[in-house]
Structures are given as structure tokens and as C-alpha cells.
Amino acid sequence: MRYVLEACVDSVQSAIEAEKGGAQRVELCANLIIGGTSPGASLFRQVRKNTDLQIRVLLRPRFGDFCYDEYEFEMMKEDVAMYRDLGVDGIVTGILKTDGTLDIKRMKELIEIAGDTDVALHRAFDVCRNPQEVLEQAVSLGIKTILTSGQKNSAWEGRDLIKELVTQSAGRIEILAGAGISPEVIEKLIPYTGTASYHMSGKEILDSRMKFRKEGVSMGLPGFSEYEIWQTKVESIRRAVEVLERAIEK
């Protein structure tokens, strides 16, 4: 069994810290604080320039559900083509129909545009109607990975479904456990679920470099400080890698 540790990052510095910690792969996005949205090409180029990591790019045109209108879908198709041409290692995306089933027609279009680029199904999977059915559809579409919390708020809470999916997949598709992942959680999930693939941000909250601070002005979500920076912490990634390496050696 080989392990995979994928770091979810939304800045160049976070990607650098993830690589220092021993992550093999990053899922690159923007706006992690709201679950991630599609990043810009300049962020991809800078991560490629400053690291040797495998890079998968999240394609999610907006915050919210995974049922997209025609304008959003056209944006997604353009982004797939752009990142394919930029040499990304993988695309991470997902589209659902209004009834909670996988939008196979649109997913197939994105996969065809991606060409030889790997495609992963993100946590749209965690709000689909029938995860067992969607797993089989993902396999038939040639999707390489399903990122999942087991349809719960954290992978530990969803461990029973993750275990079931690992069994059902029978090695045909990577089951990548994500949400609430820490070194301590990985240590418990490996023997319980049988998966050795994990997705984590390993973030810490850093204080802003700003000396002057204008209080009482919010630029976005209420309750979030404008003077906090969320960044991947090398120590968290390193400890997770150590847990995985010990587990694989057993």
C-alpha cells in the first residue's frame, strides 16, 4: 500500500510549506475559508515555479451548491482547457443535477476537454443522493479520485461510509478522505477505513503584517477578521506524513 498526502492550499506560501512538510500533491484553490473556489492562472504558475509538487486545480466557479447554470458551465469548460494547456496535473471538480444525481453529461464534457489530464470528483460527492451509484459512475467516466468526508461534516464522522466506499472501489478509484483531517485522525482512519489517501489544509492562523488597522470595516463574511491570514503549517503536514509512513511500514 502506498500513501498519498494532498494539501489543500490557496497561496504560494502554503504550497511551499506543504512541500517542506512532505506532501506529494496539492489541491490549488482560492478562498479556502468558504470551502474553495477556482484559482487564477497566476497562482498556478507561481506554485509551479516555486515547488516541485503535483498540482491539481479546483474548478468551482462560486460558493454554494454544485448545480451550475450555462454561464458557469461555460466558465468551467474554459478553465479546464486553460489549465490543461498550462500543464496542470489534475482537475478537481463536480456537477450535480437538481435531484442530487451526478450530471454525467456535463462531467463527460469536462473530462473530454481535459484530455490526458487527471480528473478528480470533489466533495459534490458528499451532497449527492446515492454515493454508491456515483462511485460506479465516476469509475465508468475514468475519474481517478473521489474526495469525500463520507457525507458528513468530517471524515471521522463519515468513517463508516468511507470504509464502505474503499471496499466497493476495490482499487479502481482512489478514495481520498478529507474534512477535519489531522495527524491524529489519520492514525485512526487508516486501520478503520483501509484508505491511505488523505486531504488536509494543515492550516494555522497568522496575524496580519498590517500595523495600522481600521476597525469596524468588514470586506466579506461577518465574524471573520480582515487581519488574519490562514496558511498551511509545515509541522502539521510533516506529522501527518510521519503517521502515514509508520502505517505503511507495518
pLDDT at 108: 98
> Is 55:47 a contact under the CB 8 Å cutoff?
yes
All residues at 6 or more sequence positions from 223 whose CB lies less than 8 Å from its CB, including other chains: none
Q: Determine the 3-state secondary structure of 27 from DSSP.
A: strand
Confidence of residue 227 (pLDDT cuts 50, 70, 90): confident
pLDDT at 1: 64
Q: Is 132 left (phi over 0), alpha (psi -120 to 50) or beta?
A: alpha
Mean per-residue pLDDT for 219-226?
73
Name the residue with cell 502539521: 236
Per the DSSP assignment, residues forming a β-bridge with 193 are none
- How much is the mean pLDDT over the chain? 94
pLDDT of 250: 65
Which pLDDT belongs to residue 210? 87
